[in-house]
Each structure stands twice: as C-alpha cells, then as structure tokens.
A = this chain, B = another copy of it.
Amino acid sequence: MSKSVHSLAAGISHSFYALFSILILISLPCLSIQARADVTKKVYNAEETTLSNGMQVVVISNHRAPVVSHMVWYKVGAADEPQGDGISGTAHFLEHLMFKGTKAIPPGEFSKIIRSWGGEDNAFTSWDYTAYFQSIAKDKLPNVMALEADRMINLSLPARDIELERDVIIEERRMRIDNDPQSLFAEQVRAVLFSSTNYAVPIIGWHDEMPKLKREHVLDYYQTWYTPKNAILVVSGDVTMRDVKPMAEKFYGIIPSHDVPSHIRPITPDFPAPVTLKFVSQDLHQPVFLQAWRAPSYLMNKREAFALDVLMEALSGGASTELYQSLVVKRKIATDISLSFEGDSRGEGSIWLSAVPAPNVTLEELQKAIHDKFIDLVASGLTPISVEKAKTRLIDSEIYARDSVMGPAMVVGQSLSYGLTLEEIETRPAQIEAVTLDDANAVLKIYLDPLSPKHFPVIGLMMPQGSGKTTTTNKKAQ
C-alpha cells in the first residue's frame, strides 16, 4: 500500500501500468555478490552522436536476441506547461494525441501497425520528459523510425479526436486518481511539498482544469517543444551506432529543427513551519504514515544526491536494514516502513517515507517512534558496515540494470532527458563508490534531522474512516 503512494509520488503518468514493473525492476537491488564489482567500467558502453539537425542519438548494444527497443525522449514534460492559466495536463494530453494520426497514418493506426509487425509500443509523460517507445524485431527498426519521425512533425490533431480523447484522459484521471483515495491524497501532499512550483501540479492535470484543454494548447505545446533539437533517440538491443546513425539521419535528420525555450524550474520557497495533512476516508483499508521532504536532485547537487542514495539504501534497502529491523522486527510498531529518494528531475528532488502501523498502534505513536528513531540516527550516525553494504547493493543494481534490452534505454533516456550527460550516467557505480560514511551522515543530518531539517517535511496521516476519531468529510463541489 505504501509502495503505491510512493510510486504515485514519483509520478510517471502513462497509459498502461506495465511500465511501472520495468522501472521498479531496474531500481531493485537483486544480487548479493559480496565482492564489489569493478566500478571503473562504464555501465552501458553506450555510443553517442548528434544528427545534423541537432537531435541526440544514443545506442546501447545488446546482441543476445535480434530485437531492439526504440525510444524517442522529448526533453519536455508537464512542468514545462504554461503555469497559472487555469489549464493543466497539456503534456500528457499531447502524449495521447500523438496516437491520433498524421497525414499518412489514420487515427489509432499507429499501434495497430506496430502490433502487425510483432512489436509493442507505448508512451509516458512525466514532469520533465515525455517518451515514446517500441519494442520490436531489429529488422523493423527503419519502419518504426519512419513512423515515429512522421508524428514528430506531421501530427494532425483532428478536432473530433481531441474531443473524444479528452474524455479518455478525464476517465483515466477518474479511475487512477479521483477513485483512488491514496492517489488523490498523494496529489495534495505533492502540491504542498512543491508549493508554488511547477512540480505542484499533477501530470494528468487538475480535475477541474482538464475539461478546458483545447486543441490550441496542445498544438502550441507540440510546435514549441517537439523538435529534433529537443529530442533524444535511444536505441538499445541488437544494433550498433554504425547501423543506427544512417537510419536516424534518413528519418529524423531531415526534420527541420528549431530552438526551444529554456526549462524553468522554480525552487519551492522556504517556509517556516512543518505541515500535516490528515486524510480520513472510508475507502482506505489501513492507516498509513507518510512523510516527505524536499531534497536536491542529481542535477542540482550530484554529491548530495548520491549520498542520499546510499543513505536510503543503508536505512531502508531491504528487511535487514536499520529502519525495518528497528521498527518492524524489534519494536513491532510498524508492519512496513520504507524510505526512498527521488532525484531524477530537472528541478528539486524529494525524499519519501511511508510506514504502516502495527495493529493497535496509532499513527501518532508511529510518528513519534519514527521521529525518535531519526533523532537517534542523527546522533549516532550510520555504521560503516551498513554504508558499505548499501554501496555494494546499489552498485550491483546499477550494473545489473545492464542486463535487459529495455531497461538501459529507460535509464539512459530518462537521465539524459532531464539534463545529465552520458558520462555521468555511465559512471554511476564510481560515483556511488565515492560516497563516504561522512557524506551519508552529512545528508542524514542536513535533510532528515527531526529537530533541525533544512526543509520542513510534509506529513500525511491516512486513516480509514470510523477508526475511532471524529471524522470530517468535505461536501461535493456545488
């Protein structure tokens, strides 16, 4: 349950859930090799080039099977939409409408054609990027490039399909957010956490603002941001740059490119008080304690971000780590607890803690126990062995991410999209290796000290209705 809150907070909005499993898979530490892998090697050995029109191309070779993943990443997302105009969800709406045809391809045919070739395709939108991908036999690569390049420049956006598809995304919101109390609450927590910034607005759009989405908003966004200079082609699988480059020049390189505006990512103002949101709903089945803090992203402060990675893993990277052992196993005050760091963004990152109280433990008691535990942790610091073990697990998981076709394209595409360089992505193991015990203790003290955090947390208390407290519900909008 807490995983669901966290996933939503991490916030990728896409058409099918399947993608989550990919993301979760590649971020899980799966191996337990004791000797640490060689961190001096590049992870992906990706090849990189730039087309004549400025489009970036990355190839990650993997010759185990004659298949490829073909992805186009646009360096633009929901956070680049115009703000404060009472309209939201343009980036994600455009993602849907990218399947509604061009002069050459009728509405809805794109995915049918991919399937007829034995492939699969999908797309997803986040705050900082939007990606379209196909997994397919490698001999079809020129064909999918032709299709993808076509919709980069020739999108039709027929009025009728816009009307119909707006109903689809409104229904998508109804199912995934409005009818899911945890998602609805996570949306509010985010809005408070990233108050007064572009990250406070949900990717899919606010309930009352989505119906106002019009063709002009989507068209303007498409014409402004969808251009080769602002896109990255990532191909992974049974190909090399020598295969890909000529094809990419042929299909993408001929598209005229234009400059795009700069990406603006305001920083949340520093507020003087911590905030608590108390959510009571009859649709909740168990109480959950949630706490979120603002934190630097990899792009803002690489050193702190990697130290936060190690800190999270040391405290909460499995059942043998400190938080779980202390609060779940020994004190039995929680049945689950997890801590995670979200640093993959162009603007600020965040830290999320979620915990489920044990039966007969109130959320307030759990909150107090977690508060006290963090005071102890800040005072004592992490143990050297926990940090070393965490680094081993993280490095293994980085290297393990190499072993699939789609996974590497996801990791590389995402990180390039929000602003990292390929060199930075390739050398993540070395950067994790470089984190010291002091580094990890420093970020613990800076960001998670309950008595003096750099930014006050947002605390969410989720309670099933009728669990003994006076409850309050709000009236439906009139």
A residues at B contact (CB < 8 Å)? 82-86, 181, 184-185, 187-188, 191-192, 195-198, 200-201, 206-209, 264-267, 269-281, 446, 450-456, 460, 470-475, 477-478
Contacts and interface: CB of A to CB of B under 8 A. Distances in A.
B452 A269 contact: no
Contact of A82 (B84, B272, B279, B460): B84
Contacts of A446: 475, 478
Given A85-B266, A208-B270, 11 more contacts: A86-B267, A191-B269, A196-B201, A207-B269, A207-B270, A270-B477, A273-B279, A452-B472, A452-B473, A453-B474, A454-B475
Nearest to A445: B475
6 contacts: A273-B460, A274-B472, A275-B277, A276-B276, A454-B475, A455-B474
Contact of A264 (B84, B184, B280, B475): B84
A279 B452 CA distance: 13
A99 B55 CA distance: 49
A277 B207 CA distance: 25
Nearest to A206: B269
Contact of A198 (B84, B198, B477): B84
Contacts of A264: 84-86
A185 B478 contact: no
Given A206-B196, A276-B278, A271 B191 contact: yes
Q: Chain A: interface secondary structure? A: loop
A30 to B, nearest CB: 36
Nearest to A279: B273
The complex is assembled from copies of this chain, and their number is 2
Contacts of A84: 82-84, 197-198, 264, 266
A195 B184 contact: no
A209 B267 CA distance: 9
Nearest to A198: B84
Given A196-B206, A207-B270, A281-B272, A472 B454 contact: no
A454 B473 contact: no
Contact of A274 (B195, B266, B278, B478): B278
A87 to B, nearest CB: 8
Contacts of A477: 270, 454
A206 B299 CA distance: 23
B207 A272 contact: no
Contacts of A201: 196
Given A85-B264, A198-B84, A273 B475 contact: no
A339 to B, nearest CB: 19
A128 to B, nearest CB: 14
Contacts of A184: 272
The 8 closest A-B pairs by CB, nearest first: A83-B84, A86-B266, A273-B279, A83-B83, A188-B271, A273-B277, A206-B269, A276-B276
A350 B445 CA distance: 39
Contacts of A271: 187-188, 191
Contacts of A272: 181, 184-185, 188, 279, 281, 474
Contacts of A276: 275-278
Contacts of A278: 273-274, 276
Contacts of A453: 472, 474-475
B192 A195 contact: yes
A208 B478 contact: no
B474 A265 contact: no
A474 B270 CA distance: 9
A474 B86 CA distance: 33
Contact of A195 (B195, B270, B472): B195
B185 A273 contact: yes
Contacts of A471: 451
Contacts of A274: 277-278, 472
B185 A195 contact: no
A166 B187 CA distance: 36
Contacts of A208: 267, 269-270
A304 B274 CA distance: 33
A473 B272 CA distance: 8
Nearest to A280: B273
A85 B198 CA distance: 9
